[in-house]
Amino acid sequence: MELWMKIGSALLLGTMLVFLLPRAKHMLQNSPKAGEGDWKAVLIPLALLVLFILFLITMIQS
């Protein structure tokens, strides 16, 4: 990647960071706490998602 494109990309990501930081802080302070079984309900579909992506990788390699 050329230097000016790197600078452009860095500018894009830097701007996103500046805008997201206050929102992240607010959401971190105001998000409700997870109840019993809540994380399990998220981790199971995400584990299936990882398996699906591995399947796509093997499919593209074959």
Partner 1 sequence: MSNQNISFTATQASVLSTSKVLKNTYALLSMTLLFSAVMAGVSVAMNPPQFTGIVTSLIAMALLWFVLPKTANSSKGLYVVFAVTGLLGFGLGPILNAYLHTGNGGQIIMTALGGTGIIFLALSAYALTTRRDFSFMGGMLMVGMIVILIAALANIFLEMPALSLTISAVVILLMSGFILYDTSRIIHGGETNYIMATVSLYLSIYNIFVSLLQILGIFGNDD
Please give the residue ranges that form the binding site for partner 1 (CB under 8 A).
1, 5-6, 8-17, 19-21, 23-24, 27-35, 38, 41-42, 45-46, 48-50, 52-53, 56-57, 59-61
CA distance 1 to 9: 10
Q: What are the tokens at 62?
A: 């074959």
In the complex, least distance from residue 28 CB atom to partner 1, rounded to whole angstroms: 4
Longest dimension (CA), the chain: 50
Q: What are the tokens at 49?
A: 């998602």
